[in-house]
Amino acid sequence: MKGIFIFFYLSIFLVLFLRETESAQLQSNGIYIVYMGASVSSKGNPRNDHDQLLSSFMKRKKNAVIHSYSNGFAGFAAYLTEDEAKSIAQRPGVVSVFPDPVLQLHTTHSWDFLRYQTAVEVDSKPRSTSDSFSNGTDTIIGILDTGIWPESESFSDEDMGPIPSRWKGTCMEGHDFTSLSCNRKLIGARYYEEPGSSNTGASGTPRDKNGHGTHVASTAAGIPVKGASYYGLAEGTAKGGSPGSRIAMYRVCTPDGCRGSDILKAVDDAIADGIDVLSMSLGASAALEQEFSVDPIAIGAFHAVEKGIIVVCSAGNDGPDSGTAVNIAPWILTVAATTIDRDFESDVVLGGNKVIKGGGINFADIQKSPVYPLIYGSSAKPIHTLDDSEARNCNPGSFQDDQVKGKIILCESKDDDYSAENKFESLKKQGAIGMILINDNERAVASSFGSSPVAVVTEEDGAQILSYINSTRNPVATILPTVVVPKYKPAPVVPYFSSRGPSFSTQNLLKPDIAAPGVAIVAAWPGNDTKVVVSGKGPPLYYVLSGTSMACPHVSGVAATVKSLHPSWTPSAIKSAIMTSAIQTNNLEAPITTNSGSKATPYDIGAGEVRTPGPLQPGLVYETEITDYLQYLCYTGYNITKINQIASSLPANFSCPTESDSDSISNMNYPSIAISNLKQKETKKVIRTVTNVDQDESIYTALVDAPSGVEVEVEPNKLQFTKNSKKVTYQVTFRQTSSAKEDMFGSITWTNGKYKVRSPFVVAISNDSQ
């Protein structure tokens, strides 16, 4: 675990502080989760079968039960043998029994950038604390993460009113954490772990020993803090998206990961505690591909949404490959990551004072003039090395000391065997002065190298440096300390790491849903963390992190603000408001692009980049009912018996269609549209219903942006709303008119002149049409 908090390591795996393989994720240490669905019967009575099964089991195995779930859903987690698990799975009332999986953890200026992007004037003067509390006042954001550092100024309760009376939670005491650690801002804190846990560094307390949870919590709901910075870089007023919201922290993650059984217990508690928004910056790896009955996040989120709680989750950090997004259940608001208009620049100066604009964060104190010998890793390879790839990548053990001592080394980054930190630590021990790393992807992510003279350059700039080395008898260079470049363009950009659609389970549901800032976000940090200290300085109170983990709380903060202004809105209405008001252009007034320069598609950013004011007045919303989600389960293979166990209540006439397939998912009343397997000349239709949440009398007209090769017809193309007609249904017909080689994207926008309500769509082609 050495070096786990160093930012470059985090930027490579983007705050996945464990590199869990699929097999490791499934390792349960003998713990199984017994999921029994709703905590009440279809008639609203407590589940007797849950109590009976749990009581019977505890009589046989007294200390085997880890958690019991009974607030939002029924079940328990316990030490079981494989045979016991199989036997319990056959018991009446049991939906599934599965090994306890270990899941992963997947700011300041970012909020101003979002406001700037949406053409809203930003006051350059810091807002007063009291003014900021108008956003999200008295909503409660529950956060499942690594814990919290309560002493951070971001969690001060100055000028906050009494804790909402509906709050039923607690502030658990633990090691170095008392009931006084909570206040009117941080109103609750819990922690979860196995009995006899050996994680002494994080056990027995809600206190954050990692930093991730503190960072996430302050991004979502931190109060404004003037003069916040990372050792002077990116200085400004740090503030969360919903500074008036209350925070409830549920520490479910330790250095060993985030156990599914703990996640379920935390969600169960959060439902009973009375939260409004549930924010989870964690999930499985893309390789795991968990379906509903064995996915703790999907299970917990479903029951939270049943209780009126909106659930926001990160999409994962397994990009840029397609089909890597996780947390893709339709009742979850799934968030991808984007950049903001700020660059951390660490320049390389070559002989002749030629400047190459590098990236990354370093506070190096070396000569500003190019006086240090510069060599290419490959040219320093030992004679006995047959394959020079090790030397080109500067992997540890590739060089003799005298080959690199006193020099700056130009290194490639073509493999994942070693992090940049590992490479430079090895070079530093051999006497090297600094390192220049060639990597297009990492150039766009501000990795922190502390006091080390390290810079990251693009392949194009790396080729320039190599050309200089080859054309000069005595090449020299230096690496300058980092400066911040404001108003950087283009932004936003989708970083390489952000997980992409389409959904691995079905192409008839578009995921991710939305994108938000997730690169080089400055937010609160534990005040005693010496692992990220720059030489000669104290621990930073604010730190820089990247990942969809950072994007998720941005959306959670927006959701809390919408909830505070529209307390009666359902989770799906809030999700719809956020999605249909998103933007698709950057600060060059051009389409948002990916890190490779290609135009971003809904597989990259969902509906687009989240806006801050737009969701507050969306005009129309798509309300996805719980019955829509239950039909989704029907379409994915669940029968009515299982669904009756899962749902807390079913309409009297609810049934699974006798004949259905995944194509039926396209008809779920969702804010986006996904059509799969469309063949040439074939026609497919979907139905949507919108609800007017603005003025009584209004007429909306449809604007269709269709790609070449697909004919899209909306009927009717005008929607009229009256005082007595708040809901209107329309139909969309898709017809492929010519052959296509890849999936196609477009949008349908309803406008009344005041609002634009936009739904992206994807048409996934059939293999037969290629």
pLDDT band at 113 (very low <50, low <70, confident <90, very high): low
The β-bridge relationship of strands 483-486 and 454-457 is: unpaired
Q: How many residues does the chain have?
A: 770
Q: Are 584 and 609 in contact (CB under 8 A)?
A: yes
| pLDDT confidence of residue 680 | 85
Please indicate whether residue 559 or residue 724 has the higher confidence score (pLDDT).
559
CATH at residue 419: 3.50.30.30
Backbone CA torsion sign across 390, 379, 448, 443: negative
The mean pLDDT of 302-323, rounded to a whole number, is: 96
At 154, list the tokens. Answer: 């971001």
CATH number of the CATH domain containing 90: 3.30.70.80
Nearest 10 degrees: CA dihedral of 198, 200, 202, 206?
100
Which pLDDT score, from 0 to 100, does residue 530 have?
A: 81
List the one residue out of 309, 314, 332, 338 whose CA is nearest residue 324: 314
Instruction: Supply the residues annotated as catalytic.
Output: 145, 212, 549
- Say if residue 323 is in the same domain as residue 201: yes
Q: Provide the residue range defining the domain that includes 724.
A: 672-770
Helices (H), 538-691: 548-565, 571-580, 602-605, 626-635, 640-646
How much is the CA Rg of the chain, to the nearest whole Å?
26
Q: Where is the domain boundary, 671, 702, 735?
A: 671
What is the C-alpha separation between 250 and 273, in angstroms, rounded? 11
Q: Is the residue at 157 inside a domain?
A: yes
Residues 629 and 769 in one domain: no
pLDDT in tens, 475-484: 999 999 999 9
Contact status, residue 285 vs residue 464, Cβ threshold 8 Å: no
Same domain, 248 and 127: yes
The pLDDT, as a whole number, for residue 193 is 82
- The mean per-residue pLDDT over the stretch 237-243 comes to 92
Is position 691 within any domain? yes
Mean pLDDT value across the chain = 88
Of the pLDDT bands very low, low, confident and very high (cuts 50, 70, 90), residue 578 is very high
3-class DSSP string for 537-559 = CCCCCEEEECCHHHHHHHHHHHH
Residues 6+ apart with CB under 8 A from 749: 702, 703, 704, 705, 756, 757, 758, 759
Read off the pLDDT of residues 416-433 as tens digits, 9 standing for 90 and up: 788 888 999 999 999 999
**% of the chain with per-residue pLDDT over 70:** 89
CATH number for the domain including 736? 2.60.40.2310
| 36 within some domain | yes
**pLDDT at 695 (0 to 100):** 80
Task: Evaluate whether residue 487 is within a structural domain.
Answer: no
Classified as helix, coil or strand, 686 is: strand
Residue 544 forms beta bridges with which residues?
522
* Closest of 417, 576, 591, 568 to residue 492, by C-alpha: 591
Residue 241 · residue 306 · CB < 8 Å: no
Q: Tell me: the pLDDT tens digits for 145-161?
A: 999 999 999 999 999 99
Q: Do residue 429 and residue 456 come from a single domain?
A: yes
Same-domain pairing of 165 and 78: no
The model's confidence at residue 2, banded by pLDDT at 50, 70 and 90, is: very low
Same domain, 168 and 292: yes
Contact 362, 479 (CB under 8 A): yes
Contacts for 66-71: CB closer than 8 Å, 24+ residues apart: 66/31, 66/194, 66/195, 66/261, 67/192, 67/261, 67/262, 67/264, 67/265, 69/39, 69/264, 69/265, 69/268, 70/39, 70/268, 71/39, 71/268, 71/269, 71/271, 71/272
Q: Does 536 share its domain with 454?
A: no
Q: Is residue 396 part of a domain?
A: yes
Q: Are 461 and 515 found together in one domain?
A: no
- Which segment of 123-132, 547-556, 605-614, 743-752 scores lowest on mean pLDDT? 123-132
Q: Is the pTM of this model over 0.85?
A: yes
pLDDT tens digits for range 486-526: 999 999 999 999 999 999 888 999 999 999 999 999 999 99
One domain, residues 639 and 718? no
Whole-angstrom Cα distance, residue 517 to residue 550?
7
pLDDT computed for residue 133 by the predictor: 36
Q: What is the CATH number of the domain that holds 249?
A: 3.40.50.200
Strand 246-251 to 186-191 pairing: parallel
Q: Is residue 9 part of a domain?
A: no
Q: What angle do CA 611, 612, 614 make, to 5 degrees?
A: 70
pLDDT bucket at 649, cuts 50 / 70 / 90: confident
pLDDT(24) > 70: no
Last residue of a domain, one of 474, 505, 530: 474
Number of domains present in the structure of the chain: 5
What lies within 8 Å, CB to CB, of 727 at 6+ separation is 689, 690, 691, 692
Last residue of a domain, one of 474, 501, 523: 474
For position 61, what pLDDT does the model report? Answer: 82
Same domain, 196 and 135: yes
| pLDDT confidence of residue 72 | 93
- The contacts of residue 528 (CB under 8 Å, 6+ apart) are 539
**Are 751 and 655 part of one and the same domain?**
no
Burial class (CB in 10 A: 0-12, 13-18, 19+), 345: middle
> Is residue 754 packed enough to be buried (19+ CB in 10 Å), middle (13-18) or exposed (0-12)?
exposed
Cβ partners under 8 Å of residue 695, min gap 6:
none
Burial of residue 289 (number of CB atoms within 10 Å: 0-12, 13-18, 19+): middle
Residue 401 is assigned to a structural domain of this protein: yes
Residue 170 lies in a domain: yes
Q: Do residues 263 and 330 share a domain?
A: yes
Give 130's pLDDT tier (boundaries 50, 70, 90). Answer: very low
Q: Which residue(s) pair with 335 in the sheet?
A: 314, 514
